[in-house]
Structure 1
Amino acid sequence: MLAVFIDLIGRFDMNQSLNSIRAVGMLAACIALAPSASDAAVKICTFPGSPSASLDRAVAQAVFARANIPATFVADGIGEGDDDGVSLKELDKTLARACDVIAGFPRSAVADASGGKMQFSRGYLRAGYVSIEAPGAELKDAAKRTVAATYASPAQLIAVQQSDVTLDLENTSASTVDAVASGRAQRAIVWYPAVVAYRIAHPEHSFTVARAESPYADWHLAFAFSDRSAAFRGRIDDALKAMTNDGRLQALTKQWSLPAQTASAARYLDTPSPASSTHSGIMLADANAARAGRFIKVANEGAVEPPTFEQAQTTHGKTLYSSSCAKCHGVQLQGMTAPALQGPSFAPPSNSHLTVGGIFTYMATNMPADRPGKMKDQDYADIMAFLLMSNGYKPGGSKMTADSARASKLPLNAGPAR
């Protein structure tokens, strides 16, 4: 459904990031972490398409050595996928078959992979989504209103909250950064490790960085353990704690750590005051053009009554959700490798930046991540009805259609039954 952080996306992209996130490819060669590593050594995988892959390997090498645990890297354990391109089920299988540990696993409050079989270490790097600009860049008129974001990733979820801009949705996090560096976009919402990786590859470029104020922005990287390697988790946590205390972890991650920021990307968001009745939503200027060029026009929308839906279609919507969406968003819509679709992170009590029509349009155009836009219009409408009911809306006397869902300008707010 929405951003798919690891069945993509969509970290997302977080794309060839984390989608997206859905990058800079870094080869994971089979490197022994200790000279005495044997056939019994712990096998470690990284996301080969992730911008932080080199850091993840360096941290893993140091931490497992500190914990005195022999380990080796497995080059192709996760294939070509990045940390936004693998489903939770596939990762569980990877840990059961090819790897004992995954380094660089992205976790957040809205997508923590809690529905899987994996266990996790403490985090070793806070790495989130940021807003970047290129100081002094010469921009053409169109670029001055353009914001780049990584397609089908948390970056896209953050970017669509902004009003009166044109979104340039890029396929990778590296190309998202390049959109700013080349002057195609005034700014970009992007996974911060992708910015670091881009600067390493292109030292002539520099960027100003601001926080992306969104529940989808904050992540940290950790180690994910399989059942058979979970016994090592305590030793790894102890090693991480010791390396934090002696400064070794900070030295390893310094280049990749989010900078101390005084600027805030909140100024880019259309955030109404509590007394305001206007909210921002999403409007596809041309669905065909959006699929071809991935450009979306975002505009403000006024509040109206929610579209009605029938109880029967929510039952069908739940069935469709279970088969097409739950693997990333959780059986209970709680969020796993993709954001939660229930509660305040999805539908806040007030002042939502997302409209029902905007969510529906995004869903019908981009989801499921493995076959976007391939379901029937009415199926998407039934899923939307299920999501509304799951967030406090009550069924009515008429059926929700794709047209009525798409046309709804109601800010998506959870609350008591209505």
Structure 2
Amino acid sequence: MNLSLNRIPAAGVLAVCVALTSVHATAAVKVCTFPGSPSASLDEAVARDAFAQAGIAATIVRHGIGEGDDDGVSLKELDRTLARECDVIAGFPRSTVADGSSSKLQFSRGYLRAGYVSIEAPDANPQGAAKNTVAATYASPAQLIAVQQASVTLDLENTSALTVEAVAKGQAQRAIVWYPAVVAYRLAHPQRQFTVSAARSPYADWQLVFAFGPRTAAMRPRIDAALDRLSGNGRLVALTHDWALPAHALDAAASDDAARFRDGPAASRAFAQRALLATATADNAGGFIKIAADASGTPSFDQAQATHGKTLYSSACAKCHGAQLQGVTAPALQGPAFAPASNAHLTIGGVFTYLSTNMPADKPGKMKDQDYADIMAFLLYSNGYRASGTKMTADDARASTMKLNAGK
């Protein structure tokens, strides 16, 4: 189950698949980029300059990372990649709200703040239902951001490029999308123009960094120092100028108390965002879901179904969200990022609707209604809600407009 959505794109201890040996001093470091990433050309350019500045011989490998399955590329797969085909990964997306605390990877400082934005196309002319439609990329943070908004209808697209195109062609009034995808689309279609505004969500704030495996971890301080020098002499600004978020979007995101990115060793463990790393091909991609965001009515549940929900979660959801709900390749489902103590955006009914429509990511909507209700009971119980003597049905969960707060 991948409630985060995108691939990309942390819980449970990942197996260490590589020997703790360093890269031979005379060998050129193999720097891989993600296949199909809209920022790949930028990632290559920054990698060449950063490694040259650090005095480290490097070659760019465009096909070292596999495409993964329809649910993306996992951290475990990246560990294996760094054991064989790649020494360093460029263009790795990081976010403080999706931290993979058990990852064996280490990360450089960020070289580009490249988050999610809301876009519209002034020259498009949406008609009918399209006027109330928001496009988002399936299995990505864009989808999670979109469903946090009140009473939205989603047009779920398989790729970020198609998400941008849905707005350009008038299929949707606006879109929540990864900003580098907007830049890449403009480069391919220079006649197209979009208005860009902040996507007001903690899930919107991301940075691109270099990821190092155990063999190359010792290089991280040298690359950090090189990025500092490139920043100081203006070269990094020149490289990233066309990809940088508009100033008004940055200001709005900062004033909205979005989760902030932290550089340095204290924040050197992270989450691989699945949908940035590969495209999704779920059966219901491109379909529509509707989600509520008003308040009142907490559904009751009993202890037995919460216990059964834990069993279902372990088999269908834990691989992405973690055995302890802390997040692996999808966001955490426990704690303030999921169920804040106050000022919640999501409702219980909204989360259940999303869960029962789109999860698990490999078989969306294929479980029994009551199984979804039992998983929802487990999530509520794990976030401080108390069990009662009444079993929660799918209809009860779906109808709830209570905001999702911890400790209820």
Sort the TM-score into its range (normalised by shorter chain). Answer: 0.7 to 0.9
Question: What pairs up with 1:242-261 in 2 under 5 angstroms?
Answer: 242-261=229-248
Change (3 A) 1:264 1:175: farther
Give percent identity, aligned residues only. 71
Question: What pairs up with 1:269-288 in 2 under 5 angstroms?
Answer: none
Instruction: Indicate the SS of the match to 2:360.
Output: coil
Match of 2:284 among 271, 291, 308: 291
**Which whole-Å CA distance do the structure 1 matches of 2:28 and 2:71 have between them?**
27
Q: Which residue of 1 aligns with 2:83?
A: 96
For residue 264 of structure 1, report the CA deviation from its aligned partner.
Answer: 8.5
**Which whole-Å CA distance do the structure 2 matches of 1:82 and 1:106 have between them?**
19
**Which whole-Å CA distance do the structure 1 matches of 2:205 and 2:71 have between them?**
15
Change (3 A) 1:49 1:93: same
Match of 2:198 among 211, 216, 236: 211
Q: Which runs of 4+ in 1 moved over 6 A?
A: 262-266
Match of 1:360 among 352, 361, 369: 352
For residue 99 of structure 1, report the CA deviation from its aligned partner.
Answer: 1.5
Change (3 A) 1:95 1:319: farther
Q: Which residue of 1 aligns with 2:273?
A: none
The residue identity in structure 2 corresponding to 1:337 is T
For residue 80 of structure 1, report the CA deviation from its aligned partner.
Answer: 2.6
Q: Which residue of 2 aligns with 1:327?
A: 319
Q: Which residue of 2 aligns with 1:379?
A: 371
Change (3 A) 1:265 1:11: farther
**Which whole-Å CA distance do the structure 2 matches of 1:51 and 1:263 have between them?**
20
In structure 2, runs of 5+ residues without a counterpart are: 10-23, 257-282
Return the TM-score normalized by structure 2: 0.82
**Which whole-Å CA distance do the structure 2 matches of 1:385 and 1:249 have between them?**
48
2:346 is the counterpart of 1:342: no
**Which whole-Å CA distance do the structure 1 matches of 2:67 and 2:196 have between them?**
29
The residue identity in structure 2 corresponding to 1:47 is F
For residue 335 of structure 1, report the CA deviation from its aligned partner.
Answer: 2.8
**Which whole-Å CA distance do the structure 2 matches of 1:50 and 1:341 have between them?**
27
Instruction: Indicate the SS of the match to 1:337.
Output: coil
Q: Answer yes or no: is the 8 Å Cα contact 1:83–1:105 preserved in 2.
A: no
The residue identity in structure 2 corresponding to 1:92 is D
Change (3 A) 1:294 1:392: same
2:57 is the counterpart of 1:64: no
Change (3 A) 1:182 1:407: same
Question: What pairs up with 1:126-275 in 2 under 5 angstroms?
Answer: 126-261=113-248
Instruction: Indicate the SS of the match to 2:239.
Output: helix
For residue 402 of structure 1, report the CA deviation from its aligned partner.
Answer: 2.7
For residue 263 of structure 1, report the CA deviation from its aligned partner.
Answer: 9.5
Q: Which residue of 1 aligns with 2:36?
A: 49
For residue 114 of structure 1, report the CA deviation from its aligned partner.
Answer: 2.7
**Which whole-Å CA distance do the structure 1 matches of 2:133 and 2:366 have between them?**
28
Q: Which residue of 2 aligns with 1:409?
A: 401
- The superposition leaves residues 75-102 of structure 1 with CA deviations (integer Å, 9 ceiling, x where unpaired) of 3222235998211222222222322211
RMSD over aligned Cα, in angstroms? 2.6
Q: Which residue of 2 aligns with 1:399?
A: 391
Q: Answer yes or no: is the 8 Å Cα contact 1:49–1:81 preserved in 2.
A: no
**Which whole-Å CA distance do the structure 2 matches of 1:55 and 1:78 have between them?**
17
2:296 is the counterpart of 1:308: no
Instruction: Indicate the SS of the match to 2:98.
Output: coil
For residue 176 of structure 1, report the CA deviation from its aligned partner.
Answer: 0.8
Q: Which residue of 2 aligns with 1:3?
A: 3
For residue 262 of structure 1, report the CA deviation from its aligned partner.
Answer: 6.3
**Which whole-Å CA distance do the structure 1 matches of 2:403 and 2:144 have between them?**
15
Q: Answer yes or no: is the 8 Å Cα contact 2:291–2:354 preserved in 1.
A: no
The residue identity in structure 2 corresponding to 1:101 is V
**Which whole-Å CA distance do the structure 2 matches of 1:237 and 1:82 have between them?**
32
The residue identity in structure 2 corresponding to 1:196 is V
Change (3 A) 1:319 1:70: farther
**Which whole-Å CA distance do the structure 1 matches of 2:250 and 2:234 have between them?**
27
Change (3 A) 1:104 1:80: same
Q: Answer yes or no: is the 8 Å Cα contact 2:301–2:390 preserved in 1.
A: yes
**Which whole-Å CA distance do the structure 1 matches of 2:154 and 2:302 have between them?**
34
Q: Answer yes or no: is the 8 Å Cα contact 1:354–1:412 preserved in 2.
A: yes
Stretch deviating more after TM superposition (107-116 or 135-144): 135-144
In structure 1, runs of 5+ residues without a counterpart are: 13-36, 270-289
